[in-house]
Amino acid sequence: MQQPEKIQPADGKLAVFLPGLGAVATTFVAGCLLARRGLAQPVGSLTQMGTIRLGKRTDNRSPKIKDFVPLAGLDQLEFAGWDLFPDSAYEAAAHAEVLEGKHLDPIKEELHAVKPMTAAFYPEYVKRLHGTHVKSLQTKADVVEALREDIRRTMKEKGCSRGTAVWCGSTEIYVEASAVHQSIASFEKGLLENDPGIASSQLYAWACLKEGIPYANGAPNLTVDFPAAQQLSREMATPISGKDFKTGQTLMKTILAPGFKARMLGLNGWFSTNILGNRDGEVLDDPQNFKTKEVSKLGVLEHILQPAHYADLYGHLYHKVRIEYYPPRGDAKEGWDNIDIFGWLGYPMQIKVDFLCRDSILAAPLVLDLALFMDLAKRAGFSGTQEWLSFFYKSPMTAEGLYPEHDLFIQSMKLKNTLRWMMGAELITHLGNEYYD
Ligand SMILES: NC(=O)c1ccc[n+]([C@@H]2O[C@H](COP(=O)([O-])OP(=O)(O)OC[C@H]3O[C@@H](n4cnc5c(N)ncnc54)[C@H](O)[C@@H]3O)[C@@H](O)[C@H]2O)c1
């Protein structure tokens, strides 16, 4: 990344494109509408509530992040989405049962106005869903063209000068990058030939990049994590980032594990299981879709604990992750962790975590932060993978050959230092305090 000479201002309206208008997307839209009317607080959002320290601790300068970097304001956002069900954002939110009437009623009309456009949806990638609100065209190339037309029309109708996209659609079956994903030319040939390696989510990403719209991937799907997407991102000077919102159990894992490691406590086992009953849980009940999620969730500990460097402490860790679909719970997921640790002389201890969380309440602020930071990245002239946004992801994408950084605290420091660097402010290394000045 090159330090930006100038960051374009965040003037005008910003269209937020949401492929997948389900629980997370509607909770996000509703929250933004409520927050901009002053009816609720955007809790959990770094861009809205976070501060950033500048200079020495004695300088007492800690502006809000949104006052330090030029971000679009909540009142500049316009929302648009696609889904294979025709329900408006109000109907989808009511169906998801995340938010109560006291939060939905005041913004009912505005939510109703967000009606999904027909989806790019091939059922073989998400077998549990059967929707009719889909584009039926001959080739995947035709579908990309139709999505591009949707984007252009929306921007025009809503009077937006820029757009930003965050995938909030379902987790697809596990797809690995293949020959079709290696270059722009091979991918575009694959689109014409309906190559089965090109899943629905990749069509949205391709359409967005072609339109110069930054693309953030909230699911563990392959989507933009392959060479052709990287190339297109660079060619279009449009950033990409992913994968999989870091919420719930994985958030806890990336908070706890760095602490154990910092204190040189050993780990023998970490068993994680979840019950959830929303549509996401139903989709993940299919083993092929669960596999995509499992890969995303399992990578976390390996990279934080570095067993190759700490064989005595982490060389024999047994790590297992399960997700069980349990309809009575709806969106109120429960995540249990049994952690077998050991201390001085190898004496064993156990930690049990029972996180009664709300999945979409944890994910919604990440959609907002990613939408705003990706727009900022575009205006700063960045392209390719935005590793400084790893903070928000369970399975962060990296430049080729690098391992992902999973430790939440390193991710947080990297994000804030990137913001300081973008604005030409001094980086904070936590040296240079009163002892060293
Ligand atoms: N909630 C969390 O904490 C969390 C954390 C990490 C990742 N995620 C991921 O975020 C995504 C959204 O989660 P959710 O709880 O809102 O799920 P959801 O099932 O409520 O919503 C997903 C929506 O996407 C739609 N969809 C699926 N394929 C589509 C396509 N090709 N085009 C358009 N729409 C499509 C579905 O019809 C559904 O309405 C999932 O992939 C989930 O795994 C969620």
How confident is the chain (437 residues) per 10-residue block, as mean pLDDT? 88 98 98 97 98 91 96 98 98 96 97 98 93 96 98 98 97 94 98 97 98 97 95 98 94 95 97 90 88 83 93 96 91 93 98 95 98 98 97 93 91 96 90 48
Give the distance (Å) from ligand 1 centre to CA of residue 281.
10
pLDDT of 395: 94
Q: Give the pocket of ligand 1 (CB within 6 Å).
A: 19-24, 82-85, 96, 119-121, 126, 129, 131, 168-171, 200, 218-219, 244-245, 247-248, 278-280, 359-360, 362-363
Give the distance (Å) from ligand 1 centre to CA of residue 218.
8
Which protein residue has the closest C-alpha to ligand 1 atom 5? 245
Q: Which of 114, 151, 166, 170 to mutate to test the pocket of ligand 1 (most atoms within 8 A of CB)?
A: 170
The 3-state secondary structure of 43-89 reads: CCCHHHHCECCECCHHHCECCEHHHHCCCCCHHHEEEEEEECCCCCH
Give the distance (Å) from ligand 1 centre to CA of residue 279.
8
Q: Which of 24, 172, 215 to mutate to test the pocket of ligand 1 (most atoms within 8 A of CB)?
A: 24
pLDDT of 3: 84
Reading the block at residue 221, the tokens are 């799907």
Give the distance (Å) from ligand 1 centre to CA of residue 19.
9
Give the distance (Å) from ligand 1 centre to CA of residue 413.
29
pLDDT of 435: 43
Atom of ligand 1 nearest to the CA of 331: 15
Give the distance (Å) from ligand 1 centre to CA of residue 62.
36
Order of all β-strands in the sheet with 117-118? 117-118, 77-83, 13-19, 160-167, 215-217, 239-242, 384-385
Atom of ligand 1 nearest to the CA of 221: 41
What global pTM score does this model have?
0.95
Atom of ligand 1 nearest to the CA of 26: 16
Find the distance separating the first CA and the last CA of the chain, reported in whole Å. Answer: 30
pLDDT of 432: 56
Atom of ligand 1 nearest to the CA of 25: 16
Reading the block at residue 250, the tokens are 């994985």
Which residues are CB-neighbours of 120 under 8 A, at least 6 positions away? 19, 82, 134, 135, 143, 144, 146, 147, 200, 203, 204
pLDDT of 269: 97
What domains are there in the chain, each with its CATH number?
13-245+361-422 (3.40.50.720), 248-356 (3.30.360.10)
Atom of ligand 1 nearest to the CA of 279: 19
Q: Please, is 371 exposed, middle or buried when counting C-beta atoms within 10 Å of its C-beta (0-12, 13-18, 19+)? A: buried
